[in-house]
């Protein structure tokens, strides 16, 4: 094991990008720990191989995170790469979306990443090496209507990552911010399932537009998850150090242009794109 990187990936549900990350890093001869919440672990059984182990990990639980990190470091003495991939959708208009749903998005998408960081960093700092890869989103840079909660949680990931990158530099720890565009996965399905629980009042006339936004990343031109994961793994494994940011996937170029555009241009585009220009 001395020459092989030990990689911990969170949120590895089958059909998701995390599942593909595990295979991509294993192909780089890393020893990968594929993690997810207990009820999803059986779905990861076909990932198990010489290069991949599965482990229980709930990013919203201090106890679960501590136990997983202890298990890995006890076995291998280190974690070389932490890939904070676990995340959930949070679709709906901010003026009506329940605060509990918004709170859960922050807990999983932002605080879940920081919880892993706080448990893993002491081990990396002791060795003066390691890479932390935080998965944000292109919509963390350019937020969209009908997904403000999710966009805000990913914007928090961006801010956290940019601060950590400087704070951890004295300890030889790299911080990489990944900003996916539209990547084909089961994410859209999960978002649609959440919408089924809500009955909008102010926005009942916009239900179709809200549902369209929930599915927006899952279009025919969406980047294949395996292609995306291989691209990220290749960049993270670069020597002497990985890049500070990885922006990749369908629509990333367009969103970068939007990020440079005047706010009125951006607002007008989203106003029309997500049917907010209809008369009530």
Question: Of 150, 189, 194, 272, which one is the catalytic site residue?
Answer: 150
Which residue is it, tokens 């890049």? Answer: 243
Residue length, the chain? 280
Which residue is it, tokens 């890479």? Answer: 131
- Closest by CA to 79, choosing from 135, 25, 36, is 25
**Neighbour count for residue 235 (Cβ, 10 Å):** 16
150 in active site? yes
154 in active site? yes
Provide the strand spans (E) within the chain: 6-9, 31-36, 52-56, 81-84, 130-135, 173-180, 245-248
CB proximity list for 4: less than 8 A, separation 6 or greater: 29, 30, 31
User: CA-CA distance, 16 to 247, in Å (whole number)?
Assistant: 18
User: CA-CA distance, 28 to 25, in Å (whole number)?
Assistant: 5
Question: Of 5, 23, 154, 194, which one is the catalytic site residue?
Answer: 154
Residue 181 exposure: Cα atoms within 13 Å on the Cβ side? 18
Which of the residues are catalytic? Answer: 150, 154
């Amino acid at each position: 094991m001395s020459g092989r990187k030990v990689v911990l990936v969170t949120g590895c549900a089958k059909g998701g990008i995390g599942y593909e990350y595990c295979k991509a890093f294993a192909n780089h001869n890393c020893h990968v720990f594929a993690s997810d919440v207990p009820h999803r672990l059986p779905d990861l059984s076909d990932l198990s191989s010489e290069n991949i182990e599965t482990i229980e990990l709930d990013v919203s639980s201090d106890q679960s995170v501590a136990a997983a990190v202890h298990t890995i470091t006890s076995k291998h003495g280190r974690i070389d790469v932490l890939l904070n991939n676990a995340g959930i959708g949070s679709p709906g208009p901010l003026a009506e979306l329940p605060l509990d749903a918004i709170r859960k998005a922050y807990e999983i998408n932002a605080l879940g990443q920081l919880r892993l960081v706080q448990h893993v960093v002491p081990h990396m700092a002791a060795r003066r090496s390691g890479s932390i890869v935080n998965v944000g989103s292109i919509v963390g840079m350019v937020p969209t209507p009908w997904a403000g909660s999710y966009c805000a949680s990913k914007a928090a990931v961006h801010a956290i990552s940019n601060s950590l990158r400087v704070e951890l530099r004295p300890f030889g720890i790299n911080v990489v911010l990944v900003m996916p565009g539209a990547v084909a996965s089961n994410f859209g399905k999960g978002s649609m399932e959440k919408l089924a629980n809500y009955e909008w009042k102010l926005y009942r006339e916009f239900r179709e537009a809200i549902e369209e936004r929930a599915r927006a990343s899952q279009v025919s031109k969406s980047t294949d998850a395996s292609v995306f994961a291989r691209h990220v793994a290749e960049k993270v494994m670069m020597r002497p150090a990985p890049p500070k940011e990885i922006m990749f996937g369908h629509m990333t170029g367009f969103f970068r242009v939007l990020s440079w555009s005047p706010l009125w241009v951006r607002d007008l585009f989203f106003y029309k794109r997500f049917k907010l220009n209809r008369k009530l």
